[in-house]
C-alpha cells in the first residue's frame, strides 16, 4: 500500500495549527486527513474489484483504474 501523503500532511497541519492557534490550518489538516483516508479506501475497493474480476478481463480492470484515477482527481479538486 502506498504512503498516505495526504494523511501525513494533514497531521502536520493539525499540529502546526494547534501550536500557533490557527484554527483554519487545523481545519485544512483535517480535510487533508479525510482526503487521504478516502483515497486509501478507494485503493482498497479498486484492488478488491480487480481481484474479483480476475486476470481474464483486462478491459474491466482498465476501467477500474480509470475510475480510481478520476476519483483521486476529484478528491484533490475538492481539497482546493
3-state secondary structure of 68: helix
Q: How far apart are CA 15 and CA 13, in angstroms?
A: 5
Domain boundaries, the chain: 5-79
Q: How far apart are CA 43 and CA 71, in angstroms?
A: 10
What's the predicted TM-score (pTM) here? 0.67
Q: Other C-beta atoms within 10 Å of 32: how many?
A: 22
Predicted confidence pLDDT, tens digits, the chain (80 residues): 567 788 899 999 999 999 999 999 999 999 999 888 888 888 888 877 777 777 666 767 777 777 778 777 777 777 76
Output the nine-digit C-alpha cell for 65.
483504474
Amino acid at each position: 500500500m502506498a504512503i498516505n501523503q495526504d494523511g501525513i500532511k494533514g497531521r502536520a497541519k493539525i499540529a502546526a495549527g494547534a501550536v500557533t492557534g490557527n484554527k483554519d490550518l487545523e481545519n485544512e489538516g483535517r480535510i487533508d486527513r479525510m482526503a487521504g483516508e478516502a483515497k486509501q479506501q478507494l485503493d482498497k475497493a479498486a484492488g478488491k474489484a480487480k481481484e474479483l474480476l480476475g486476470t481474464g478481463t483486462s478491459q474491466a480492470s482498465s476501467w477500474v483504474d480509470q475510475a480510481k484515477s478520476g476519483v483521486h482527481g476529484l478528491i484533490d479538486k475538492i481539497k482546493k
